[in-house]
Amino acid sequence: MTGVDTSLLEDYKDYLYIERRVSPATVAVYAAEANRYLLYLREKKAEVDTVLSTTIMEFLVHRSIHDHVAQRTQSRNISALRSFHLFLMDSGIRPDNPVDLLEMPKTPLVLPTSVSSNAVDDLLAVIDVSDPSGLGVRDRAMFELTYSCGLRVSEVCSLTMADYREEERILHVIGKGDKERWVPVGDYAAEALQTYIGNVRPLLMGAHIHEKTLFLGRRGKPLTRALVWKRFKEYCGMAGIDAKVHTLRHSFASHLLRGGADLRTVQELLGHSDIRTTQIYTHADTEDLLQVYRRFHPDGEPDSV
């Protein structure tokens, strides 16, 4: 990559941070895609200020074939390129956005996977809270809270002691896009947290007496997402359950809706900006109902008559 391209990418990242105010994770993804795009244009001897939409389409096809890019990722890549060319327009490098001439691929509806409340109980039950290290107590509290409040892994790892109001049993959560929400904490999670905070966290904290993060590792430092995923996977294996940490969040939403909670309330509890994101859980429950109907109702399987 030339110095000009490097400078352009740095300006683009500043644009995303300052002008568009997107998250660091999105900046990294969009900048990486812009980097691949610029390398491809250089290989094709094309310039960003004159490139045609046909060349951009060729780049996307190249990515799809050679990098095995999934349809959902392809949609994100188009958004990244549109953002990059919008930056070029705002910078006066070119007057139009050729990506606008491309048609966005339709993203298939991917229904969230949830597990039953019994499966959640089985999963939490395999965690050994008698472990002398205290890690079992920590993990029990962590995953009880994840399910009780419908948390993302990143939200769990970023929780501080000040975020939990024990007397009110309410949790302050900062989600995607720094969107804040308050979520009630259930009885089981509150009890597990009380044990962890009172008996285990001080031991894990050690010399790090000023550490504010709620969930700590062996050396008193904040947990990483990778470690949380690893611990959860181990417990799933012990319980014989096929799930990911995010499955607890999906299950939280599905169980609320099945219990009669209204969609707007669930949207607020999950921290969704758009209610259409929450509505996908109603599709998932409909699919579950259809499967039960087809399995047990005499009219469910016409071919079986």
Q: What is the CATH number of the domain that holds 247?
A: 1.10.443.10
Per the annotation, the verdict on 281 as an active-site residue is: yes
* 138, 249, 250, 255: the active-site residue: 249
Q: State which of 92-106, 137-151, 286-300 shows the largest mean pLDDT.
A: 137-151
Helix intervals (H) in 48-93: 53-66, 71-90
CA proximity to 145, closest of 119, 112, 173, 126 = 173
Instruction: Please state, in angstroms and rounded to a whole number, the distance separating the CA atoms of residues 153 and 294.
Output: 35
Percent of the chain with pLDDT over 70: 88
Per the annotation, the verdict on 181 as an active-site residue is: no
Question: Tokens standing for 304?
Answer: 């079986």
* 152, 231, 250, 255: the active-site residue: 152
Instruction: Please state, in angstroms and rounded to a whole number, the distance separating the CA atoms of residues 144 and 252.
Output: 11
CA proximity to 117, closest of 148, 140, 90, 96 = 148
Residues whose CB falls within 8 Å of the CB of residue 281, separated by 6 or more in sequence, listed in order = 112, 250, 253, 254, 257, 266
Which of 101, 130, 157 marks a domain boundary? 101
Among 99-113, 143-157, 263-277, which is the least confidently predicted range? 99-113
Instruction: Please state, in angstroms and rounded to a whole number, the distance separating the CA atoms of residues 264 and 91.
Output: 40
* 176, 208, 225, 258: the active-site residue: 176
Per the annotation, the verdict on 210 as an active-site residue is: no
Among 10-14, 20-24, 145-149, 276-280, which is the least confidently predicted range? 276-280
Pair 52, 125 in one domain:
no
What average pLDDT score do residues 273-277 get? 81
Pair 78, 148 in one domain:
no
Pair 274, 176 in one domain:
yes
Pair 93, 198 in one domain:
no
Per-residue confidence band for 302, with pLDDT thresholds at 50, 70 and 90 = very low
Q: Determine contact, residues 8/38, Cβ cutoff 8 Å.
A: yes
Report pLDDT for 101. 86
Pair 129, 220 in one domain:
yes
Whether 49 maps to a domain, the answer reads yes
Which of 55, 74, 101 marks a domain boundary? 101
Whether 235 maps to a domain, the answer reads yes
Q: Is the pLDDT of residue 305 over 80?
A: no
* 13, 172, 225, 246: the active-site residue: 246
Whether 155 maps to a domain, the answer reads yes
Among 83-87, 221-225, 290-294, which is the least confidently predicted range? 290-294
Per the annotation, the verdict on 188 as an active-site residue is: no
What average pLDDT score do residues 43-55 get? 91
Per the annotation, the verdict on 249 as an active-site residue is: yes
Q: Is the pLDDT of residue 284 over 70?
A: no
Pair 54, 152 in one domain:
no
What average pLDDT score do residues 205-226 get? 90
Give the chain's length.
305
Pair 65, 140 in one domain:
no
Residue in the structure block whose two tokens are 């400078």 = 7
Report helix, strand or coil for 185: coil
Residues 1-34 pLDDT 10s: 454 578 899 999 999 999 888 899 999 999 999 9
Pair 63, 199 in one domain:
no
Pair 156, 272 in one domain:
yes
* 30, 40, 235, 281: the active-site residue: 281
Report pLDDT for 296. 55
Which of 47, 71, 101 marks a domain boundary? 101
Report pLDDT for 181. 95
Report pLDDT for 61. 78
Q: Determine contact, residues 134/150, Cβ cutoff 8 Å.
A: no
Residues 156-211 pLDDT 10s: 999 999 999 999 999 999 998 889 999 999 999 999 999 999 999 999 998 787 88
Whether 192 maps to a domain, the answer reads yes
Helices 135-149 & 245-258 angle (0-180, nearest 10): 40
Pair 269, 126 in one domain:
yes
Q: In which order are the strands placed within the sheet that holds 164-165?
A: 164-165, 170-174, 180-184
DSSP line for 249-294: HHHHHHHHHHTT--HHHHHHHHT-SSHHHHHHHHHHHHHHHHHHHH
Whether 273 maps to a domain, the answer reads yes
Whether 243 maps to a domain, the answer reads yes
Pair 88, 224 in one domain:
no
Whether 112 maps to a domain, the answer reads no
Domain span including residue 94:
3-101
Q: Is the pLDDT of residue 252 over 80?
A: yes
Q: Determine contact, residues 253/263, Cβ cutoff 8 Å.
A: no
CATH number of residue 54's parent domain? 1.10.150.130
When divided into structural domains, the chain yields a total of: 2
CA proximity to 175, closest of 162, 193, 163, 188 = 163
CA proximity to 240, closest of 122, 85, 159 = 122
Whole-prediction pTM: 0.62
Residues 51-110 pLDDT 10s: 998 899 888 878 877 777 776 788 888 899 999 999 999 999 999 999 988 766 555 556
Pair 47, 180 in one domain:
no
Whether 274 maps to a domain, the answer reads yes
Report pLDDT for 301. 53
Instruction: Please state, in angstroms and rounded to a whole number, the distance separating the CA atoms of residues 268 and 265.
Output: 5
